[in-house]
Amino acid sequence: GVGMLGPAGFLLLAAAADSVDAAVVCFTAGLGLSALTLGGVSVNHLDVAPRNPGLVFGMGNTAGTFGGFVSVGLCGAIQEYT
C-alpha cells in the first residue's frame, strides 16, 4: 500500500502544487516512499535464481524496455493509419 499508493498521492499533489518548491517536495516524498517497494521486488530475483539474480533482473528489465520501445512505434503506426 504505502510504497505504491503513497507515490501516486504525492504525484497528484505535485500536479496541483502552487509553487516549484512544493512540487519538488512532493516528488521527493513520492520517490522516498517508492523505495519501500524495492525490497519486495528485488528479492524475487534471488528466489528465482539464487546464483544469477543479476542476469534474471537484467532479462526482466530488457523485456520491459523492449515492450515499451515496440509499443511506441505500434501506437504511432495505428495513429497514422486511423
Position 16 confidence tier, pLDDT thresholds 50, 70, 90: very high
pTM attached to this predicted model = 0.57
pLDDT digits (tens, 9 = 90+) for 22-81: 999 999 999 999 988 877 777 888 888 899 989 999 998 999 899 999 999 999 999 999
In DSSP notation, 22-80 reads HHHHHHHHHHHHHGGGHHHHHHHHHHH-TT-HHHHHHHHHHHHHHHHHHHHHHHHHHHH
25 close to 38: Cβ distance less than 8 angstroms: no
